[in-house]
Amino acid sequence: MRYGIFSDIHGNLEAFQAVLAAGRLDSIDKFFCLGDIVGYGADPRQCIAMVRELNAITVAGNHDWAVADKFDLRYFNKSAAQSLLWTKDILNDFEKDFLKNLPLQHHEKFFTLAHSSPADPERFNYLSLNDEVLKAFSVVKRRICFVVHTHIPRSFVFKDGKVRLCSESGFRIDPQGLYLCNVGSVGQPRDGSPQAAYVVFDSKKMLVQIKRISYNVVSAQNKIRKAELPEFLATRLSQGR
């Protein structure tokens, strides 16, 4: 099976469309979503509809739960909170219920999905510090756990009692190791590249590939401005931050 694993669409329809087009070329058999479908971008309704049409197994992100009143808006900075309030106003009850009922984790045969750390997932902690990475590895139940939240594609392997970084472009799974793979962000990358990110996992070859896809950034920016959302949310898209 070839799995397409994506996250943090953040209402960016142009980026999401580009990723799905790339997925068709990559012969993806099934898609999985690690949450944060909404927030920041100007097309949350369309992005929710597309995730549902894909029949993608989806876990909750902090923005999804915030829109559904399951996570405190005080957690977010001013621009993010403003975009979430705007999103709440335009979503209907059916869409909010969909986000509200998303689980925090999902387990497949070979991998686990979690938006943030699989340790205390309801707290949405960032996997950027060594102690958080080690804590996450202590609860991983599958060979690989796909995460996101930082919007930075970066993977770790735990082997022989040590943690090290994997190649930025992908890796083949060592049966003696455990892996945390950050799939990056579709709609708001933060690693200096404006290109959308997603992951292809081939369960036959046990190969993980991190893909980057160009999209119409200007169109996404113009929609944010037309919606009168904070300018920072538009300008950051072309800067990848």
In this prediction, residue 128 carries a pLDDT of 66
In this prediction, residue 150 carries a pLDDT of 86
Give the pLDDT mean for 109-136.
82
Q: Are 194 and 168 in contact (CB under 8 A)?
A: no
In this prediction, residue 129 carries a pLDDT of 60
pLDDT(7) > 80: yes
Please report which confidence band the pLDDT of residue 123 belongs to, taking 50, 70 and 90 as the band edges. Answer: confident
Q: What is the DSSP letter of 237?
A: H
Give pLDDT tens digits for 184-193: 999 999 999 9
Give pLDDT tens digits for 129-181: 667 788 887 888 788 999 998 888 988 888 888 888 887 788 998 988 889 89
- Helix residue ranges, H only, the chain: 13-25, 44-54, 62-67, 78-90, 93-100, 130-137, 217-226, 231-239
Instruction: Tell me the pLDDT of the chain averaged across its residues.
Output: 92
Give pLDDT tens digits for 83-110: 999 999 999 999 999 999 999 999 998 8
Rg (CA), the chain: 17
Give the pLDDT mean for 18-23.
96
**What are the tokens at 25?**
């070329």
Nearest Cα to Cα of residue 37 among 21, 25, 19: 19
Give pLDDT tens digits for 202-222: 999 999 999 999 999 999 999
The residue that leads in pLDDT, 11 or 174, is 11
**What are the tokens at 5?**
């694993």
Which domains are seen in the chain, by residue range? Answer: 2-239 (3.60.21.10)
In this prediction, residue 226 carries a pLDDT of 97
| H helices, E strands: number in the chain | 8, 12
CA dihedral 191, 212, 46, 49 (to 10 degrees): -110
33-60: b (≥16 Cβ within 10 Å) or e: bbbbbbbbbbbbbebbebbeebebbbbb
pTM for the full model? 0.94
Q: How many CB atoms lie within 10 A of CB 194?
A: 19
Report phi then psi at 159, rounded to 5: -150, 135
Report phi then psi at 160, rounded to 5: 55, 35
Give pLDDT tens digits for 35-63: 999 999 999 999 999 999 999 999 999 99
